[in-house]
């Protein structure tokens, strides 16, 4: 039973994703994590289900789902394997949405159909080694060379950047003499075949180990002029606008991880006997279960209210940050409780809760740290509160 009032279609998508994830992803998730293995079979399977084009219109070979259906599917995937969920979230929310909303018709026709079919994976390259939370400080430089652009610099923390066929990359198009902050940043559509494009270091991460994260170096990378996305100087606003959407995906991923931890804890606690009875009979455990379930339901309700607002075409910057912040902190808290319910067994790899705990942490870091989400929420709340009519939209 769900608090959400879901349509038939939304329930169908949820059931489809759950059945697939439980059947195909759950049995191999632990092994892929231990081996840090990105699994192309999983990509093929999810492509057959249409999961790489969930938000893409049918004319570009997508499923054209509403935002809530997409997030319900993502949650189900994340319950089974958070590494698979980040692949879907980044691909569907960031490069795909940027191309859809800011690309020319020629760019959309060229890239979206193979992306929606899962033949081309999309990645997003905003951060750099010296520009994380302060994304506008990025230094990757683009200079014109005839009709082309030459890009030089290092992009960091690029999820599945070594597996992607299309990378939406933010680079400076202002000059070192005349810096224009965020307004000096443009977006380029990169492909790994471009001369000067190199995948550098692969990170050795605490969690999401089956999802590769890489650095990309651009060594005077020659990019044809028709690979500029939208208008020159608008790339930073495109990136932040797309992150409004991306953060909903990460919130769904965090909720999925938390739900996996709660479900595992409930099953374990019902079997585990101490002091002559199952530990579910102790209030210490019951209260943890109650708090876990309450926080998860609150996070999901906030997320789906934000998604419904997005579907209505409203600006959701504040609510997307709230959903991501609350879901990420819920995932970290719930997985910490789950390890505690399991006791020593939660601290070893025999059970999956230590993986859930490791996977949860990054949801408080990527696509904007919890501190950045609080900055966004505070800015938006204060400007609403101090607006002429003094009323805070809810």
CB of 78 to ligand CAA, least distance (A): 14
- The stretch near ligand CAA (CB under 6 A) out of 1-9, 291-299, 341-349, 371-379 is 371-379
316 makes contact with ligand CAA (CB under 6 A): no
CB of 316 to ligand CAA, least distance (A): 9
127 makes contact with ligand CAA (CB under 6 A): yes
- The stretch near ligand CAA (CB under 6 A) out of 26-34, 40-48, 361-369, 385-393 is 361-369
- The stretch near ligand CAA (CB under 6 A) out of 12-20, 163-171, 241-249, 303-311 is 241-249
> d(Cα 325, Cα 317) in Å, to the nearest integer?
12
- The stretch near ligand CAA (CB under 6 A) out of 195-203, 204-212, 234-242, 338-346 is 234-242
Q: Which is nearer to ligand CAA, 13 or 131 (CB)?
A: 131
> d(Cα 15, Cα 78) in Å, to the nearest integer?
14
CB of 213 to ligand CAA, least distance (A): 7
Q: With the C-alpha atoms ordered 291, 297, 298, 299, is the resulting torsion angle positive or negative?
A: positive
Q: Which is nearer to ligand CAA, 237 or 384 (CB)?
A: 237
By CB under 6 A, what part of segment 70-109 binds ligand CAA? 90
Task: Note whether 209 and 83 are within 8 A (CB).
Answer: yes
CB of 278 to ligand CAA, least distance (A): 40
243 makes contact with ligand CAA (CB under 6 A): yes
In the list 26, 47, 49, 237, the residue contacting ligand CAA (rule: CB under 6 A) is 237
- Which two tokens mark 72? 């319900």
Task: Note whether 238 and 102 are within 8 A (CB).
Answer: yes
Binding mask 132-171 for ligand CAA (x = CB under 6 A): -x-xx--------------------xxx------------
Task: Note whether 301 and 3 are within 8 A (CB).
Answer: yes
Number of residues that bind ligand CAA (CB under 6 A): 25
**If DSSP codes are grouped into helix, strand and coil, which group holds residue 252?**
helix
**If DSSP codes are grouped into helix, strand and coil, which group holds residue 144?**
strand
CB of 374 to ligand CAA, least distance (A): 10
**DSSP states along 171-188:** EE-SBTTB--GGGGEEEE
- Which two tokens mark 93? 């929310």
Q: Spell out where 46-181 has E strands.
A: 122-125, 141-145, 148-159, 166-172
Q: Spell out where 273-370 has E strands.
A: 273-274, 277-278
Task: Note whether 83 and 134 are within 8 A (CB).
Answer: no
> d(Cα 3, Cα 34) in Å, to the nearest integer?
36
Q: Which one is catalytic: 75, 76, 364, 367? A: 367
CB of 310 to ligand CAA, least distance (A): 12
The answer to whether residue 367 is catalytic is yes
Class of residue 143 by CB neighbours under 10 A (exposed 0-12, middle 13-18, buried 19+): middle
384 makes contact with ligand CAA (CB under 6 A): no
> d(Cα 35, Cα 210) in Å, to the nearest integer?
8
303 makes contact with ligand CAA (CB under 6 A): no
Tell me which residues touch ligand CAA (CB under 6 A). Answer: 90, 124, 126-127, 133, 135-136, 157-159, 182-183, 236-237, 240-241, 243-244, 317, 366-368, 372, 375-376
List, by residue number, the catalytic residues: 367
């Amino acid at each position: 039973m769900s608090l959400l009032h879901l349509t038939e279609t939304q329930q169908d998508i949820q059931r489809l994703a759950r059945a697939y994830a439980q059947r195909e992803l759950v049995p191999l998730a632990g092994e892929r994590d231990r081996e840090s293995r990105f699994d192309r079979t999983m990509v093929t399977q999810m492509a057959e289900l249409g999961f790489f084009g969930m938000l893409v219109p049918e004319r570009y070979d997508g499923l054209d789902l509403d935002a809530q259906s997409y997030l319900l599917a993502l949650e189900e995937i994340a319950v089974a394997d958070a590494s698979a969920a980040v692949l879907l979230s980044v691909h569907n929310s960031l490069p795909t949405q940027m191309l859809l909303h800011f690309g020319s018709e020629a760019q959309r026709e060229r890239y979206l159909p193979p992306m929606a079919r899962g033949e081309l994976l999309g990645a997003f390259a905003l951060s750099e080694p010296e520009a994380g939370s302060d994304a506008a400080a990025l230094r990757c430089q683009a200079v014109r060379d005839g009709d082309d652009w030459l890009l030089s610099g290092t992009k960091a923390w690029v999820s599945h950047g070594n597996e992607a066929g299309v990378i939406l990359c933010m680079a400076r198009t202002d000059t070192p003499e005349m810096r224009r902050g965020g307004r000096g940043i443009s977006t380029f559509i990169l492909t790994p075949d471009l001369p000067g494009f190199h995948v550098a270091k692969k990170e050795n991460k605490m969690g999401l180990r089956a999802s590769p994260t890489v650095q990309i170096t651009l060594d005077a990378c020659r990019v044809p002029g028709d690979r500029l996305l939208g208008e020159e100087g608008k790339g930073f606003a495109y990136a932040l606008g797309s992150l409004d959407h991306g953060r909903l995906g990460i919130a769904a991923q965090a909720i999925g991880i938390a739900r996996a931890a709660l479900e595992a804890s409930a099953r374990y606690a019902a079997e585990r006997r101490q002091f002559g009875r199952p530990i579910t009979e102790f209030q210490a455990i019951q209260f943890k279960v109650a708090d876990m379930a309450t926080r998860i339901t609150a996070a999901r309700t906030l997320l789906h209210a934000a998604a419904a607002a997005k579907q209505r075409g409203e600006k959701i910057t504040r609510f997307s940050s709230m959903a991501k912040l609350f879901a990420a902190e819920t995932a970290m808290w719930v997985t910490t409780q789950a390890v505690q319910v399991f006791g020593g067994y939660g601290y070893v790899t025999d059970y999956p809760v230590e993986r859930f705990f490791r996977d949860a942490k990054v949801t408080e870091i990527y696509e904007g740290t919890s501190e950045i989400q609080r900055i966004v929420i505070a800015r938006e709340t204060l400007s609403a509160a101090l607006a002429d009519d003094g009323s805070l939209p809810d």
